[in-house]
Amino acid sequence: MRTLEKIKQASLITAIKTPYLANGEIDLAKYDELVEIQIAAGVDGIVVGGTTGEGQLMNWEEHLMLIAHSANKYGEKLVIVGNTGSNNTREAIKATKYGFASGMDAALQINPYYGRTSIAGVKEHFKRVLDIGPAFIYNVAGRTGQDLTPDIIEPLAQHEHFIGVKECGGNERIAHYEQQGIACWSGNDDESHDARHTYKAHGVISVTSNLIPGLFRQLMDTPSNELNASLQPLMNWLFCEPNPIAINTAMMMTGAVNPVFRLPYLPLSDEQQAQGEVLINELNNSDVVGGAAKCIKQGDIALLS
């Protein structure tokens, strides 16, 4: 396992997509192809089974298998972050223990969603999972319905296993944390360039880097307002519907993965696809995972429960 300081050096972490076979099972061969592309592009780490990787649509056997597979095959080349968080503390503890036993470097932990608890309960939840091993805390109030404010995060940052925060609360908050020595990774792709170069974030945990990892590597390494501005329309399109709907559709349009959705996710509409086709094809094919994009007929996409 890597040290906390080594993990903190990872500036570009991709929330890797999980591809499927025609029958809806995980396509491990295609998954490996996608991860190898990320490695070749210089990505530092991957989050396995995150929101983008649809961990929420997996059973725990699938979820933990994918973490173990990733750690075993790519642990020497990438920081392996397993999304073992849950709104059920007991499940989060069990999954996190299994994840570390399988060789992951760190966990991604989220505050209890839907069945929300008190602030005291949130703190105790995180303490229990942090006690197990190194973890990123994920703050995404739009999904959990509960913002992890500094009065929650700052005491947690004293824990020996606290790595930092994947923060979706904006760059001003990232700057506030970084000034205190609390490591932050932007959770908003469209803000990540400025987060990194102006607000001193450690990096980004990105959705868009599934599609354009090399360009995102450039965004994290070198300030470039021109490149950042040129990619804003694509990043905005990739979040025109709740993630991971658009990134799934985009990677099917480029032929990077099979046209298979697990419900309740559905592909983008024909109109939305047409918008994305233009945006993707404005880029060099060599910069896009899968190459040139082409709209897919709705009837050619498998929708599986």
Residue 138 catalytic? Answer: yes
Identity of the amino acid at 89: T
Average pLDDT, consecutive stretches of 10 residues, N- to C-terminus, the chain (305 residues)? 94 98 97 98 98 96 97 98 97 98 98 94 98 98 95 97 98 98 98 98 98 98 98 98 98 98 98 98 98 97 95
| pLDDT (0 to 100) of residue 129 | 98
| pLDDT (0 to 100) of residue 1 | 75
Nearest partner of 45 among 126, 108, 94, 122, judged by Cα = 108
Kindly provide the residue ranges of all beta strands, DSSP E only, lying in 1-54, ordered along the sequence.
12-15, 45-48
Q: Is the dihedral of CA 106, 112, 114, 115 positive or negative?
A: positive
Residue 297 catalytic? Answer: no
What CA–CA distances, in Å, run from 290 to 212, 266, 285? 10, 21, 8
Of the candidates 31, 166, 177, 199, the residue annotated as catalytic is 166
Of the candidates 31, 74, 138, 177, the residue annotated as catalytic is 138
| pLDDT (0 to 100) of residue 124 | 98
3-class secondary-structure state, position 92: helix
Question: In sequence order, what are the beta bridge partners of 47?
Answer: 15, 81
Q: Is the dihedral of CA 71, 26, 213, 206 positive or negative?
A: negative
Please indicate, yes or no, whether the overall pTM of this predicted structure exceeds 0.85: yes
> With 0-12 CB in 10 A as exposed, 13-18 as middle and 19+ as buried, what is 305?
exposed
- Angle among Cα 186, 188, 192 to the nearest 5 degrees reads 55
